[in-house]
Amino acid sequence: MNKKDFSLKTIGPNDIRIIYDWRNSDRVRFNMFESEIIPFENHLKWCEGLKNNTRSKCVMFQWKGENIGVITAKELDSNINKWIWGCYLGDGNYFQGAGTLMGLFALEYCFEKLNIDLLIGEAVAKNETSLRFNARIGFKTEATFLKTTSLGRQIPAILLTLRKGEWDNIKDGLFLKYLN
């Protein structure tokens, strides 16, 4: 696999329905804090909120021109350039390691294009796949906490962090390892 086979693109009008279907798929929904079906009107408001917003980003992850995943990043604290990120693959049966590569390209985007200093992630504590994924691409576990959902439920969660300097030290080795 070649790095040139992968790209990121800003979401456009034709991507809105694709992302909506992915967000509501059982595979994605059941591993999120908000696991209820998202009404299409709410999804449209979320997409509209991304337009011209310098503090929130959403891009499609592409392999050979095909949309296979979504990457989001949202600024939490401009004083220390701290953002929260997330990503997930779409519905297809993609090649082994697609998620890891999406994570690496997401980190490259966040640290090198958006110039983020501190990136945090949150994972549902029981989502071992997500925790292994985050550890594999360099995140460190910082804390456990209870996250309150929009419906008032409290879900055990893990706070993960990665700093730009840490990314700079590991990125070349990770790309070499996962791109063959």
* Domain 3-179 listed as CATH 3.40.630.30: yes
pLDDT tens figures, 4-60: 999 999 988 899 999 999 888 777 766 677 777 888 998 888 888 877 778 999 999
**DSSP character string of 94-116:** PPTTHHHHHHHHHHHIIIIIS--
User: Domain residue spans in the chain?
Assistant: 3-179
pLDDT tens figures, 62-112: 999 999 999 999 999 999 999 999 998 998 788 989 999 999 999 999 999
Token pair in block for residue 142: 């910082």
